[in-house]
Structure 1
Amino acid sequence: MKIKYNIKAFEEIRRLPAVAAEVDSRAARIADACGDGYESSPYEGKSRHRASVITTNYKAARDNAKNNTLLRNINAGS
């Protein structure tokens, strides 16, 4: 038995407004858990909605480099 995936259907699901809202919400929770100097940055990718959490100043970048702040707070998005 061979499974054939419907890639277009996966892309449609990943672009649904509800999925985009959940992705944005998770990124915002991670940024909030990291503290000042971190923000979420949502955007539409080629095949799906995406969001990243970035540092906005030198202090936050240094904090992340020394303490792995983003990695330590990844579960805040769950």
Structure 2
Amino acid sequence: MMVARDARGRFTSSGTTRISWNLRAFEAIRRSPGVDAALRAKVDKVLAQVGPGYVGHVEAGRTRSRGAVVTATGEAMRDNAENHTLVRALSNIRGG
């Protein structure tokens, strides 16, 4: 690939730039202990806001780790259905 300047002095290139992504490296990052710790921290923040009747877990999937907070009791299911508790807690920890 050749890089040159056009009439206005901006850099231009001729040809096509190709990027070859290392997908296995991305998968390794998404399953790394650091990502698991970050997910656990997010799950714990949500659990701190929602109260009793909710449970959270982090698990390793085939290509990435996943974190979830779900209802565990009928009372929590009712609370979440009426008040959108999980959506609000997730929004709060995201800063929204």
Same fold (TM over 0.5): yes
What is the identity, as a one-letter code, of the residue corresponding to 2:19?
I
Q: Distance in 1 between matches of 2:93 and 2:41?
A: 8
Give the number of the structure whose residues are more often strand, by fraction: 2
Structure 1, gaps ≥5 residues long? none
Matched residue, 1:71: 87
Q: Which has the higher contact order (CA 8 A, sep 6+)?
A: 1
Q: Is the 8 A contact 1:27 1:77 kept in 2?
A: no
Matched residue, 2:43: 27
Structure 2, gaps ≥5 residues long? 1-16
The TM-score, its normalising length taken from structure 1, stands at 0.89
Is 1:7 matched with 2:7? no
How many correspondences in the alignment? 78
What is the identity, as a one-letter code, of the residue corresponding to 1:63?
D
What is the identity, as a one-letter code, of the residue corresponding to 1:58?
G
Post-superposition Cα deviations, 1:12-54, rounded to whole Å, max 9, x if no partner, equal 1111111111111101111221111112121111111111001
Q: Is the 8 A contact 1:29 1:76 kept in 2?
A: no
Q: Distance in 1 between matches of 2:85 and 2:63?
A: 29
Which structure's CA Rg is the greater one? Answer: 2
* Aligned ranges 1:51-62 → 2 under 5 Å: 51-62=67-78
Give the number of the structure whose residues are more often helix, by fraction: 1
Other structure's SS at 1:40 match: strand
